[in-house]
Amino acid sequence: MSKINNTIDFIRSQFPKQDFIPLHAPVFNGNEKLYVFDTIDSTFVSSVGAYVDKFEILMAELTKTNKAVALVNGTSALHVALRLSGVQNGDEVLTQALTFIATVNAIIYNGASPVFLDVDLDTMGLSPNAVQAFLEEYGELRDGVCFNKRTNKKISACLPMHTFGFPVNLDELITVCNKWNIPLVEDAAESIGSEYKNKPTGGFGKLGVFSFNGNKIVTSGGGGAIVTNDIELGIRAKHLTTTAKVPHAYEYVHDDIGYNYRMPNLNAALACAQLEQLNSFIQNKRDLAQDYQSYFNSIGIKFRTESAYTKANYWLMCVELENKKERDNFLKLTNDNRIMTRPIWQLIFKSTLYSAFQRDEQKNAIFLEERIVNIPSSVRK
């Protein structure tokens, strides 16, 4: 009990002068107003404009990929990235149950089924060992294409998620996926600026996806992006998400059932100003993480830190409590004291909507679900 009271005081001391302390609030200290007013002055506030182009260039640079496409949100980016990776109606996609619902919804939008596999305890993201164990039991290569022997369905993608900005064990995951010819698509919605072996997340898979929602580390109000090293695929992503219109001076001809998933220029302006500050935001959050770590060490609560070979952006920071009872206690006392804390997501298959899909034992996911709590993680001013 007094541990938690001390924690409340400590968190308040990190975010002084705030009565209610949110989990994550955006910070607008850069060129946000300049760029947004500029789009208004230009009248190009909607689906085309200079900031959309600038944003796409910035994102490709930042993720060290060959092409980036600006989208209306991260969920639509996942939808299209899976489709472009080859996911079709009736297929299966390997993913984690310990994730935000959008990861799984995007699989369903493509008419495919999720297969829920366990996470690693250190990264809280999809476990390469779990993927390997599943494929050894159920996988079968037929003419180089991976099928699930139990369901007879094609396994057409693997979709790991970098939980709270902590990168998954990418080398091992890539090795398993390559062995079974399964394309990797990264849900990097939470991990912009995070690195695995000095390389940014999002650029490891066939395609990677980011979100710029208001609660993320940098925001465009609402927004998303697809990145890829395959330029052809990137061009296709742009085409599909801009109604699949064939370029022409005035005729309306569309060569596919595309989507209107473009990021408006107004939002791209905000995103550009925010991206300019990403490195300083990450440094600021890493400093906060250090302060949290020494504080929580001193009182014997486990603060979660990045694993070997990775650099996390520390989007949402978290502690791991001893058990569910301690977790519930921590949640209640902090929230009662106007400090926002949240449990990690409920495992997706616990919803009746998703309970029928194949899954493994989920030992680590269940362990983490009962213990992990997010704590206030905004950039300190």
Ligand X SMILES: *Cc1c(COP(=O)(O)O)cnc(C)c1O
Residue type for position 279: N
DSSP 259-312: -B-BPPHHHHHHHHHHHTTHHHHHHHHHHHHHHHHHHHHHHT-EEP-PPTTEE-
- The sheet with strand 342-343 has its strands ordered as 302-303, 317-320, 372-375, 342-343
Query: Does position 211 bind ligand X by CB under 6 A?
Result: yes
136 to 129, 139, 361, 363: CA distances (angstroms) = 10, 6, 15, 18
- Please work out the total of residues on this chain that contact ligand X, with binding judged by CB under 6 A: 14
Question: Between residue 147 and residue 166, which ones bind ligand X under the rule CB under 6 A?
Answer: 161
Closest approach, Cβ 205 to ligand X, in A, equals 14
Token readout for 126 is: 């999809």
Site stretch for ligand X (CB under 6 A), options 37-45, 95-103, 149-157, 192-200: 95-103
Query: Does position 221 bind ligand X by CB under 6 A?
Result: no
Buried b (16+ CB within 10 A) or exposed e, 292-313: beebbeeeebebbebbeebbbb
CB closer to ligand X, 148 vs 213: 213
Q: Which of 91, 120, 186, 187 binds ligand X (CB under 6 A)?
A: 187
Torsion of the alpha carbons at 115, 118, 124 and 125, rounded to the nearest 10: -40
Q: Which residues pair with 242 in a beta bridge?
A: 260
What is the 8-class DSSP label of residue 378?
A: P
CB closer to ligand X, 146 vs 348: 348
CB closer to ligand X, 139 vs 343: 343
Closest approach, Cβ 76 to ligand X, in A, equals 7
Query: Does position 100 bind ligand X by CB under 6 A?
Result: yes
Site stretch for ligand X (CB under 6 A), options 8-16, 96-104, 118-126, 284-292: 96-104
Closest approach, Cβ 159 to ligand X, in A, equals 10
Closest approach, Cβ 190 to ligand X, in A, equals 5
CB closer to ligand X, 97 vs 189: 189
Position of minimal CB gap to ligand X:
74
Residue 346 CB partners (closer than 8 Å, separation 6+): 369
Distance between CA atoms of residues 170 and 287, nearest Å: 25
Query: Does position 190 bind ligand X by CB under 6 A?
Result: yes
Closest approach, Cβ 329 to ligand X, in A, equals 26
Query: Does position 73 bind ligand X by CB under 6 A?
Result: yes
Query: Does position 128 bind ligand X by CB under 6 A?
Result: no
Reading phi first (left if > 0) and then psi (alpha if -120 to 50, else beta), residue 49 is in left
Query: Does position 189 bind ligand X by CB under 6 A?
Result: yes
Q: Other C-beta atoms within 10 Å of 198: how many?
A: 8
CB closer to ligand X, 135 vs 344: 344
Q: How far is C-alpha 227 from the chain's CA centre? A: 13
Q: Which of 65, 75, 148, 334 binds ligand X (CB under 6 A)?
A: 75
Closest approach, Cβ 213 to ligand X, in A, equals 4
Q: Which of 224, 234, 264, 343 binds ligand X (CB under 6 A)?
A: 224
Contacts to ligand X by CB under 6 A: 73-75, 99-100, 102-103, 161, 187, 189-190, 211, 213, 224
